[in-house]
Amino acid sequence: MHSKDISHGQGFESDYLTCFPYDSQPVNGELADGEFSNGELANGELANGELANGELANGYQRPWKKPSATQEFQRIEEYHPVLASTGCSSKFCQSGRMIHTDEHRVGKDRPIHQIEAEAISFLDQMRRDNLLQDGAERQNRVKEVLEEINQNARVARLPSKHVSLKVKNGNRCSDISSDGWTQTNQELEYGIRLAWKYSRKCIMRSQYEKLRLCDLRHVRTSVEMGKALLQGLKEAFNRGDIQPTAFVFPARHAGENGPLIWNQQLLAFAGYTNDDGSILGDPMNASLTTSIIDLGWNPPKFRTKWDLLPLVTMAEGDAPFVTGISAEDFPLIHVRHPRYELPFDKLGLRWVPAPALSQLGFDIGGVQYTASPFVGWFMDAEIGIRDLADESRYNVLPDVVRALYPHELHRPLGQLPESERLNLLCRAQTELNFAVFHSFSQNGVRMSDSLTASSNYCQFDDEHFKKHGFRLPADPYWLAPPQGSIVPIWHRGGAPHYQPKPLICRHRGDPVKTWKRRQKNSKSKSRNPDAETERSTAVATGLHPSGARVRVMVCYCSAGTTAAKLAGAVHGSLQKHPYQHQQDFQVLESRPLDSINWSKLSQNDVVILIASSTGRGDIPLNGQRTAERLEKARLPEARFAIFGNGDSSYFGTFNGAARILFKLFKNAGLRQLNDSFVEGDNAKESPPWKRLDTWLNNLPDQIINPDANVNGFHDSVVNEKPRAEDLKKFMNLYACFALDHCPHGQQNLRKVTISSSSHSYSAMDYLVLLAPSRVDEVHQVIRLLRKKNHSKITVLDQISYFDFLRDFVQLEDPFRDLNWAEKLDCVDFNAKSLVNLPVADAIRALPSGWHRKVNLDDVLISMPTTAPRFFSIASTPKSTESIAEGCQLELIVQTKCDGKFSERYLNSAKAGDQFRARIQPATQLHRLCNKEVGPIVAFVTGSGFAPMQSLLRLRAQQAREADQNGESGRIENQISLFVGFRSEDTALIHEGIDEAVATDLFDMLFLMPSNGLKARVQDKVFQPGVRERVEAKIRDGAHVFVCANRAAATDVATNLNAILGCDVRRTLGDRYIQDTFDPSHQDLPANDMLCMNASSHEAIAHPIRPVLDSMQKGCATHYSIISCRRLSKLKGATVSKDQREFVESHA
């Protein structure tokens, strides 16, 4: 009981005052002549001539007066002689608890006298509501019911509080229970309606008289339960015009559990637990999902956060049965907002169309119905403020804030002042709640808004108060919508907290645990000797020397996705190792380095890190927080190993991040595995799978046996001084290529033709080049070194000074090492003064006579090497002119302001000029070149169109060859392509797709030039028709290819995550291939196109006609293209009249 409810009538406002006509002290029971003992006649008129509604017989209204709390409590007890416990006492109030400790539950045996009393009370309520016509009918029914209760009596083990000294037939009365009595259909329907009316936690109970009964008491098996429940649920859902319905299965008998349903909600989302502890889906259902999978359910191969859980029904004495639920029968509601269409599309939120509580039971007249699901309709706040927004559920509010108010987030949300954070979260909550209600309305699915539901309840409660002199039972913790004082019910103080019967309540036991206990009891309790042997063997081999679990944490840090893919391979390899099946050996799913909780690290743990570098050997963003922590913290002596995913083309910064992290791990107290540092080289193999596999051969044994001396390999991380041998290896990677053609001017994208006399390539490969230094700067440095252009460098295989400085040295950068300059330290000079000076300026700052005191070879070797630029080749070997030897290839180069290659070199170069470069196979892209790979969904922007053009030319060649050879099946390999570009590059993009259009390679093609509305091509996936087709293709097996700058690539992944309901890169794995580049990377100012990484994903082809993108007002033209000769085959496509006219006008 709430203290505020009883103090001086607090909470009763003037508009709630009522006539209180009851002056007598009634006693429960009805007299034989049909008159109630409180003086009220059966027709509702009081014996003193006053009508039950407070109006006098002469038509006058009695004056209003305020009932005291004591009077109200008295009336409640008179009207409801049988009340269930609310858990409150004179010393403790449980109003702040979600579930009260002494809350009434079904599933417990009760003494027979209690069952009899509740049956009589229930029949009295039926008489009071005129469902039993007179006192005689009531007495006859009471007699029948009591006889049946006693006929069904049985001995039961009852709680000690029911112990009595009275004996009946040799047993204590309290040990006798009963299976209850059989209620008629009318009685059961009346009972479930009354239970809803008395549900103190429900705000929607004003609709209790509309509740339908689906009587399933004849169903006796788990299989039949599932079928009947699913069919009844379809009928109640009624395509959105929901009919509130309770599905009642057989009543529980004494000593039994009764039929049970595992699900808390009939319509609910699965919650898949990942190895790292994260949840894909609804965290509330994580345990249930695991239990259903253990029961034998096979989740969809393509798991998402919006997968409907199947029903699990369990009849008394029967095994549980799994019944699948189709989203076609209960279409999910996609949450959209009329004013924030795109942001909400990108969030990809959705929800089930109806609530269907299924772990609640009905207690009616002493009869317990343990399986009685109840379906109704939602109130908006249940979803928008609780289910989607709660931190313990989907926790989407931070995402909503980032989507709606990105310009107001001047720092991460969690770092904002609390007032600003609260403001943003409240606004996001309001918009989310509105979007939920709007979406249900647009889909024609019934829903109540919080204001309407609150007002309806207040009116319903007031009417009850005026009629009976007391309020309905209310639990404010549950009853008041979470919007607070905005809704009327928030201000209603004085609501009594009590629980009449019949009622709706929880089951005393968890159905899943009930089943597991039954299974456990049915098995032999003898221990398995084989399991003991395996455990002993594990201990003997050092698997868990301290008796604690060995956890292997596979992690990665990377600006792209290759490191994540390599980490996934490590995880998969370790998972397959025999010791993984031991209970004390656990390999956690791979995750970013910063996601590891270092505070929970133990000395038995093993950390396996795959580390890529960014910038000039820097630690990527998803590892920087860990690096900062390791600099300050001392960790338990866990073991570790690092695999560096680098590229030796970046001489001097090769695997820089891995080297830094190796030192930090050691300094923080972690112990090294035998092969604790291994370097993969993408210049030799991209990704370095062979190197990884060799490392993995020895890694498991080192993890399992800490003291084993495994003959592996250990890369040195100590020698960091530049060496001539390393520099020569770097130089030998590159050969001379010649510039054939390059248009001059200020184009954004330009096509550059290059040739080599000694190299060959495949479609979609990379050209890795070194942008030459300016000739005048080279001459200047040579003069400062007091050498001539043609002078040879002996230590570097006799290369000339001019060629070395022009082709391999980044003259704008400072020296990488200044050990040679320390010999020159004197009063007027300190080597540290050269740290930030470019090469030429540093040499000028040297003291006179310096060249006689130092070895010039040391000076040359310490110079900064040119950072390689990666360009995707836009041609195929067959699409360019053939030359006698070698190859000719095309690049698409994006011009960057002051870019060393794209502007400075290309604007001054002429045909025939040479530079250093090499071909690097794009191993991760080659799978797309295989014509058997199937459908592709591709997103490319800017110069990222280059590899796509190469693929399109290859596919066109394959199509022509197939036609010439009479082969079929080409149409199944359709490509859905989304291209974003600047308007001035339109001609170049059209040139790149014309052949593919003519060959009918596309099922969908979207071209998006730059425009004033900042519309992005990747957002076209949310167009009606496109969204569904993209989702179908990916689910059915299509590959996803993304080649764009990092921001656009992230946006593509965000959009696909929203459409598919999962982390698409993680889910699709090798079928998601991503090449990200950063043309404006500030740490690499001359890096025109830096290829960061690649990875893969999955999908399927659904042959469809192209969907044309409508023109938008105020935008630059953005459109999609189809092959005009197939225009006549557009039947069945989602194409508007305007779109068809647009195509016809361009045909």
Do 835 and 700 fall into the same domain? no
* pLDDT for 144: 95
Confidence check: pLDDT of 828 > 60: yes
* pLDDT for 881: 64
CATH of the domain at 674: 3.40.50.360
Do 1000 and 1115 fall into the same domain? yes
In whole angstroms, what is the distance from residue 516 CA to residue 290 CA?
Answer: 13
Domain boundary among 810, 835, 858: 858
Tokens of 614: 């960014």
Confidence check: pLDDT of 74 > 70: yes
778-789 per-position pLDDT tens digit: 999 999 999 998
Whether 620 is in a domain gets the answer yes
Whether 467 is in a domain gets the answer no
Decide if 951 contacts 929 (C-beta within 8 A). Answer: yes
Task: Report in angstroms the alpha-carbon separations of 383 from 351, 377, 389.
Answer: 8, 11, 8
Mean pLDDT of the 84-106 span: 78
Whether 760 is in a domain gets the answer no
Confidence check: pLDDT of 798 > 50: yes
Percent of the chain whose predicted confidence (pLDDT) is above 90: 43
In whole angstroms, what is the distance from residue 543 CA to residue 1139 CA?
Answer: 67
* pLDDT for 707: 54
16-57 per-position pLDDT tens digit: 333 333 333 333 334 333 344 343 444 444 444 444 444 444
Tokens of 236: 């109640």
Best CA proximity match to 1036, nearest among 1005, 1068, 1058 = 1068
Reduce the secondary structure of 26-61 to three states and give it as a string: CCCCECCCCCECCCECCCCEECCCEECCCEECCCCE
Do 562 and 699 fall into the same domain? yes
Domain boundary among 824, 858, 892: 858
134-162 per-position pLDDT tens digit: 889 999 999 999 999 999 998 877 765 54
Do 1109 and 966 fall into the same domain? yes
Do 846 and 927 fall into the same domain? no
What band does 77 get if pLDDT is binned at 50, 70 and 90? Answer: confident
Best CA proximity match to 369, nearest among 235, 187, 125, 130 = 187
Confidence check: pLDDT of 601 > 70: yes
Do 677 and 805 fall into the same domain? no
234-264 per-position pLDDT tens digit: 999 999 999 999 999 999 999 899 999 999 9
* pLDDT for 884: 55
198-240 per-position pLDDT tens digit: 988 888 888 999 999 999 999 999 999 999 999 999 999 999 9
921-964 per-position pLDDT tens digit: 888 888 898 878 889 999 999 999 999 999 999 999 888 888 88
What band does 80 get if pLDDT is binned at 50, 70 and 90? Answer: confident
Give the long-range contacts of residues 522-527, CB within 8 A, separation 24 or more: none
280-310 per-position pLDDT tens digit: 999 999 999 999 999 999 999 899 999 999 9
Spell out the residues 6+ positions from residue 908 whose beta carbon is closer than 8 angstroms to its own.
none
The whole-model pTM stands at: 0.76
* pLDDT for 405: 94
Whether 1054 is in a domain gets the answer yes
Tokens of 808: 């391999």
Confidence check: pLDDT of 815 > 60: yes
Do 1014 and 1090 fall into the same domain? yes
* pLDDT for 5: 36
Cis peptide before 502 (omega within 30 of 0): yes
Domain boundary among 682, 700, 721: 721
Decide if 1101 contacts 1002 (C-beta within 8 A). Answer: no
Do 709 and 848 fall into the same domain? no
What band does 1109 get if pLDDT is binned at 50, 70 and 90? Answer: very low
Paired residues of 212 in beta bridges: 245
Three-state DSSP state, 940: strand
* pLDDT for 1141: 34
In whole angstroms, what is the distance from residue 1062 CA to residue 305 CA?
Answer: 6
Rounded mean pLDDT of the chain? Answer: 80
* pLDDT for 878: 81
CATH of the domain at 1071: 3.40.50.80
Best CA proximity match to 720, nearest among 656, 631, 639 = 656
* DSSP code per residue over 666-723: HHTTPEEEEEEEEEEETTTSSS-HHHHHHHHHHHHHHHH-TT----------S--S--
Decide if 948 contacts 940 (C-beta within 8 A). Answer: yes
Decide if 131 contacts 378 (C-beta within 8 A). Answer: no
The count of domains in the chain is 3
* pLDDT for 29: 39
In whole angstroms, what is the distance from residue 29 CA to residue 681 CA?
Answer: 90
Sign of CA dihedral 1053, 1054, 1059, 1065: positive
Do 998 and 935 fall into the same domain? yes
Do 840 and 941 fall into the same domain? no
Burial of 735 (0-12, 13-18, 19+ CB in 10 A): middle
Decide if 435 contacts 337 (C-beta within 8 A). Answer: yes
334-346 per-position pLDDT tens digit: 999 999 999 999 9
Alpha helices by DSSP H, 272-337: 286-295
Whether 618 is in a domain gets the answer yes
Task: Report in angstroms the alpha-carbon separations of 254 from 84, 241, 257, 369, 1145.
Answer: 19, 39, 8, 12, 79
Percent of the chain whose predicted confidence (pLDDT) is above 70: 80
Confidence check: pLDDT of 6 > 80: no
Three-state DSSP state, 419: helix
Confidence check: pLDDT of 536 > 60: no
* pLDDT for 390: 93
Confidence check: pLDDT of 1028 > 90: yes
Tokens of 837: 């000076």
Whether 57 is in a domain gets the answer no
* pLDDT for 388: 96
In whole angstroms, what is the distance from residue 860 CA to residue 862 CA?
Answer: 5
What is the distance, to the nearest Å, from the Cα of residue 462 to the centroid of all Cα atoms in its chain? 44
Q: Domain span at residue 1038?
A: 923-1146
* pLDDT for 4: 35
Best CA proximity match to 695, nearest among 676, 709, 708, 668 = 676
265-277 per-position pLDDT tens digit: 999 999 998 866 7
Mean pLDDT of the 312-340 span: 94
In this predicted structure, which of 9-13, 583-587, 678-682, 822-826 has the lowest mean pLDDT? 9-13
Tokens of 989: 């993009």
* pLDDT for 64: 52
* pLDDT for 40: 41
Q: What is the C-alpha end-to-end distance of the chain, expressed in Å?
A: 78
Confidence check: pLDDT of 568 > 90: no
Task: Report in angstroms the alpha-carbon separations of 523 from 517, 526, 574, 1074.
Answer: 10, 9, 33, 51
* pLDDT for 133: 86
Do 842 and 962 fall into the same domain? no
Decide if 306 contacts 280 (C-beta within 8 A). Answer: no
391-408 per-position pLDDT tens digit: 999 999 999 999 999 999
Burial call 826-846: b when 16+ CB within 10 Å, e when fewer: eeebebeebeeebbbebbeeb
Do 958 and 815 fall into the same domain? no
Whether 952 is in a domain gets the answer yes
* pLDDT for 724: 84
746-767 per-position pLDDT tens digit: 778 999 999 988 888 999 999 9
Whether 512 is in a domain gets the answer no
